[in-house]
């Protein structure tokens, strides 16, 4: 595999992982602590969207989707999804560290399994070529 493409794939995988994790953190933080209570009224959702933390979360999640689309345009789906699943690990850590969430031992065990899968898939080639 072309070293430039390998570097580009790893860089975009990192962007996908971090924009997803920090977008989710920001969105959750904003909805819990900054946007006020959501009700059935659409106005409460509009107010929430324009609160700073929620807006940042939305922007990061838009960046996540765009970078994921770029990554999927050249790397195999069977590579991208498992490798970017490291975002789930990061989400658990951020939830524990910044939101004070109680992560049970079963959740940590699942997180370790995800990490093991990410390592296994990450050792492989992100593009298998034409499969016709």
Domain assignment present for 131: no
Residue 45's domain comprises 3-122
For residue 59, what pLDDT is reported? 97
CB distance 35 to 51 below 8 Å: yes
What's the token pair of residue 46?
Answer: 């509009």
Q: Is residue 127 part of a domain?
A: no
- Total domain count for the chain? 1
Average pLDDT, consecutive stretches of 10 residues, N- to C-terminus, the chain (132 residues)? 81 95 95 81 87 95 96 89 88 95 93 88 73 45
Question: Does residue 86 lie within any of the structural domains?
Answer: yes
Distances, alpha carbon 61 to alpha carbons 25, 38, 93, 113, 129, in Å: 10, 20, 18, 25, 30
Q: What is the pLDDT of residue 130?
A: 56
**Torsions phi, psi of 53, nearest 5?**
-70, -40
Query: Residue 9 domain-assigned?
Result: yes
**pLDDT value, residue 44:** 84
Phi, psi of 125 (to 5 degrees): -85, 130
Q: What is the pLDDT of residue 132?
A: 42
Q: What is the pLDDT of residue 109?
A: 94
Residues 25, 60, 36: CA angle, nearest 5 degrees: 50
Residue 128 lies in a domain: no
């Amino acid at each position: 595999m072309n070293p430039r493409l390998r570097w580009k794939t790893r860089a975009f995988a990192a962007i996908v992982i971090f924009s997803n994790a920090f977008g989710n953190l920001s969105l959750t933080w904003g909805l819990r602590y900054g946007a006020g209570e959501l009700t059935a009224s659409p106005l409460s959702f509009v107010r929430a969207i324009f609160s700073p933390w929620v807006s940042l979360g939305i922007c990061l999640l838009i960046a996540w989707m765009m970078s994921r689309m770029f990554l999927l345009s050249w790397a195999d789906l069977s590579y991208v999804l498992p490798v970017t699943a490291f975002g789930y690990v990061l989400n658990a850590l951020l939830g524990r560290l910044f939101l004070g969430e109680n992560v049970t031992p079963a959740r940590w065990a699942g997180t370790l399994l995800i990490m093991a899968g990410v390592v296994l898939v990450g050792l492989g080639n992100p593009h298998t070529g034409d499969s016709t």
